[in-house]
Structure 1
Amino acid sequence: MSNKNPTPDRAGSYDADGLDVPTYHQDDKAADQGPAFTGAGSTAASSLPAGGADNATTQFPETSGAGVFGRTNRAAPQEIPASQQSPQPTYADQDFAAPGGSTAYQTFAYDRQQDQPTTMAPAAAPVAAPPVAPAAANYDQTTAVTESETPDHRRGTIDFGLFIVRLMLGLWLILEAVGTFFRLGGNPGLSGLQSDYAGYLAPEGLAIVIPSLQLAAGVFLVLGLITPLFAMLATIATSFTALHELSTSGAGLNVFAWPESVWLSLVLLGSSLALQFTGPGFVSLDYGRSWARRPLLSSWLFLLLAIAGGIALWWFGAGINPLA
């Protein structure tokens, strides 16, 4: 320490013990420059070595008698017999004491993994692996749902073509029915249709049923509304008309002798059957329905109903062989 006096000064007279205690002061002299205490244990100033008191080092001389115990009010040391001495206690750190009062300790490092216990747990019973599904069943369900619910707009002009077919078929059925009901365009009306069905079992009933089926089917086909049902009605009406024209022509199975009325009825029948399988397309009021582009089950169901309805209408309404 550079700012302290390297030479210790002798303590002043205010020391109660009478001992010379080295002190350090920044000043050149000790705090008390009075005469040194002349009691036992002090070093007289006259006995200091040459160079003065400032350069001398205070020493503690031996005192007469028994050293420090020879001073006033100091008792001499006594030796205690070994029989009266208490045994030295054995040190034991209770914080790290082993269980059961044992004084054995184990040292381990925290930065290393402790040794695993030698006692091994019983092995668990083997678990059977779950059955693995066949690879063919792993398909993307999201893609399947998207394909079945999202309309496919990449259909080109198919929807517009279906609209034309529906429009032509529906308009013909509407005009034929309206002309019959209101005798328009030289049509003989209901009485003339009844005379045409004079050779059948129920000419009066057929004269009302056939134009009614034509009008209902034509209106709903033009709108493209509930197409499977009304395509079925159009199939029943056009099939009865085709059989009626074939029976009145007398050509039988000679297709080359069939008149144009027979072929027109067959073309209309084929158009109604085509709409039954294709659906009305998106240019219709059924654009949000599943049968607008993929009728699937409904096509076959309504086709069977149309065949059954046409046979029943001819069997109970006409009751004759159309090929005779």
Structure 2
Amino acid sequence: MTSSKPGDHARTEMIHDVDYPLDVPSTSGSGSGPGGDSATTAFPAAGRSDYSQFAESGGYDPSAPLPFSDQPTTIAASPRDEVTRRGTTDFGLFVLRLAVGVLLAMRGLQKLFGLFGGPGIDGFAATLTESGFEQARILAITGGAVELVAGVLLVIGLATPVAASALLALVGMGIAVRLTGGDPVPLLGDTTRGLETSILYAAALLALLFAGAGRWSVDRRWRWSHRPRFSGVIWLLLAVIVAGVIWYLLNGTNPLTSTTDSPPVTAG
């Protein structure tokens, strides 16, 4: 004779609602019921972490994600500095580098070796002496070598910011030499050479400083080839400082107000 207490029926329903893993095979592989059938309520022993046997026999696969858990998500982020397609921009930068680099390298050959109808070292040194420079021969050799080497670097796109800033300093000093002459130099010259050529050189070099060499260059793996950012400003400041120091120490005149007939401003 059995008796039931209040609440036993509810607890029985709760127990019946539990889903038992009736299809889990026995860990020993031997049947526990009549006829050798595999048991349906076998669980791995306590402390055991190898569930491969259950996965192989169609039970729980520990490698599969739980249906209730958040599925892992992977967000493929593109590299921050990845160079995107830029159309014909890189080709345009290559043409600009080629034209400016070749022409300025030829200028260096004129000053160093007298090629292409150039003055050579002696003639260029005499021009610098007439312009009020001291150590004119050293400046002539240095200026010609910088033009030649930096022009070649510009063509191949190697160390482009360094080459462009060095050439920009030379072009700026050339403009200053023209402005300190006895005769006024026009911006656009008809019969005499004006400043337009030097200004175009300076503008092209500034464009390369702030646009980069492009992917058609040896510098294509460096950030300054496509994203100069602050490097253009830094190299521009260096070019201005170096050119200003050389001019102040070896010439001393004010290119904005002085002429060859006015006394030079001594450096110190």
1:150 maps onto 2:82 in alignment: yes
Instruction: Determine the C-alpha separation between the residues in 2 that align with 1:308 and 1:146.
Output: 39
Report SS of the residue matched to 1:294.
Answer: coil
1:170 maps onto 2:101 in alignment: yes
Instruction: Determine the C-alpha separation between the residues in 1 that align with 2:175 and 2:254.
Output: 13
Quote how far apart the aligned CAs of 1:308 are: 0.9
Is the 8 Å Cα contact of residues 170 and 243 (structure 2) preserved in structure 1?
A: yes
1:218 maps onto 2:157 in alignment: no
Is the 8 Å Cα contact of residues 231 and 275 (structure 1) preserved in structure 2?
A: yes
Quote how far apart the aligned CAs of 1:309 are: 1.3
Letter of the 1:152 counterpart: T
Report SS of the residue matched to 2:94.
Answer: helix
Is the 8 Å Cα contact of residues 188 and 196 (structure 2) preserved in structure 1?
A: no
Quote how far apart the aligned CAs of 1:270 are: 1.3
Once the two structures are superposed, residues 241-283 of structure 1 have per-residue CA deviations (whole angstroms, 9 ceiling, x without a partner) of 121123236316x646695352211211111111000001111
Is the 8 Å Cα contact of residues 135 and 250 (structure 2) preserved in structure 1?
A: yes
Is the 8 Å Cα contact of residues 114 and 120 (structure 2) preserved in structure 1?
A: yes
Is the 8 Å Cα contact of residues 190 and 207 (structure 1) preserved in structure 2?
A: yes
Structure 1 length-normalised TM:
0.54
Instruction: Determine the C-alpha separation between the residues in 2 that align with 1:243 and 1:318.
Output: 11
Report SS of the residue matched to 2:253.
Answer: coil
Q: How does 1:1-324 map to 2 (within 5 A)?
A: 106=5, 108-109=8-9, 110-113=11-14, 146=78, 148-153=80-85, 155-198=86-129, 199-248=132-181, 250-251=183-184, 255=187, 259-323=192-256, 324=258
Is the 8 Å Cα contact of residues 166 and 280 (structure 1) preserved in structure 2?
A: yes
Letter of the 2:106 counterpart: L
Q: Which runs of 5+ in 2 are unaligned?
A: 16-74, 259-268
Letter of the 2:154 counterpart: L
Structure 1 stretches (4+) deviating beyond 4 angstroms?
256-259
Instruction: Determine the C-alpha separation between the residues in 1 that align with 2:204 and 2:250.
Output: 24
Is the 8 Å Cα contact of residues 171 and 218 (structure 1) preserved in structure 2?
A: yes
Is the 8 Å Cα contact of residues 187 and 195 (structure 2) preserved in structure 1?
A: no
Instruction: Determine the C-alpha separation between the residues in 1 that align with 2:144 and 2:235.
Output: 21
Matched pairs, number: 193
Quote how far apart the aligned CAs of 1:302 are: 0.9
Instruction: Determine the C-alpha separation between the residues in 1 that align with 2:109 and 2:233.
Output: 30
Compared with structure 1, are the counterparts of its residues 279 and 269 closer, same or farther at alpha carbon in structure 2 (3 Å cutoff)? same
Structure 2 length-normalised TM:
0.64
Compared with structure 1, are the counterparts of its residues 262 and 249 closer, same or farther at alpha carbon in structure 2 (3 Å cutoff)? farther
Is the 8 Å Cα contact of residues 225 and 285 (structure 1) preserved in structure 2?
A: yes
Instruction: Determine the C-alpha separation between the residues in 1 that align with 2:156 and 2:221.
Output: 14
Letter of the 1:112 counterpart: E
Report SS of the residue matched to 1:270.
Answer: helix
- Larger-Rg structure: 1
